[in-house]
Amino acid sequence: AQSVTQLGSHVSVSEGALVLLRCNYSSSVPPYLFWYVQYPNQGLQLLLKYTSAATLVKGINGFEAEFKKSETSFHLTKPSAHMSDAAEYFCAVSESGAGSYQLTFGKGTKLSVIP
């Protein structure tokens, strides 16, 4: 069974400050890991993904995440927050090698960016 824990349902950062959104997972097999973003009134958009290649993954809009197996973590970071980053972010896990790549999501973290 898989599970995802996102620490912090709401995170506020100042514009230009570091963004750090935390995600820990559990999986019985090597996982595929994802970060999705949902802007207001829009669907989920894939930010980045880890699929057992490089442990440091770069995504769109300047975001990146590092897979740390020893810590079972996949935290999302961005060096400098922009007002347009305000959205809800979801971490998700999928089991590699399975017939169905169904996603197990965390509860989401709403990011607010303060001018």
Partner 1 sequence: EAGVTQFPSHSVIEKGQTVTLRCDPISGHDNLYWYRRVMGKEIKFLLHFVKESKQDESGMPNNRFLAERTGGTYSTLKVQPAELEDSGVYFCASSQADSYEQYFGPGTRLTVT
Which residues would be at the binding site for partner 1 (CB under 8 A)?
4, 32, 36, 41-46, 49, 51, 90, 94, 96, 99-108
Please report how close the Cβ of residue 52 comes to partner 1 at its closest, in angstroms: 11
Please report how close the Cβ of residue 44 comes to partner 1 at its closest, in angstroms: 4
Report the residue number, 22 or 49, with the smaller CB distance to partner 1: 49
Report the residue number, 15 or 101, with the smaller CB distance to partner 1: 101
Burial of 59-77, coded b for 16+ CB within 10 Å and e otherwise, reads beeebbbebeeeeebbbbe
Report the residue number, 24 or 104, with the smaller CB distance to partner 1: 104
Distant-in-sequence, close-in-space partners of 18: CB < 8 Å, separation ≥ 6: 77, 78, 79, 80, 81
